[in-house]
């Protein structure tokens, strides 16, 4: 099964954290948010994970 993960780069609600790094790359527990999302989808059985930046 395929999944499309839409990752926006701008998030004004998280400023100033997002002034120098895109919000999907913000670290949470020493890993980017995007990595957590991809790992969760893979554990749920998704084989084709597409990311739109």
9, pLDDT greater than 70: no
Between CA 8 and CA 19 the distance in angstroms is: 14
* pLDDT attached to residue 18: 85
At 19 the pLDDT is 87
- pLDDT one-digit tens code per residue, 12-48: 888 898 888 888 999 999 999 999 999 999 999 999 9
Higher-confidence residue: 38 or 53?
38
Whole-angstrom Cα distance, residue 24 to residue 12? 13
């Amino acid at each position: 099964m395929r999944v499309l993960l839409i990752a926006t780069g701008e998030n004004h609600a998280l400023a100033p954290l997002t002034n120098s790094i895109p919000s999907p790359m913000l670290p949470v527990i020493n890993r980017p948010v995007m990595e957590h999302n991809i790992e969760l989808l893979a554990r749920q059985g998704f084989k084709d994970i597409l990311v739109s930046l």
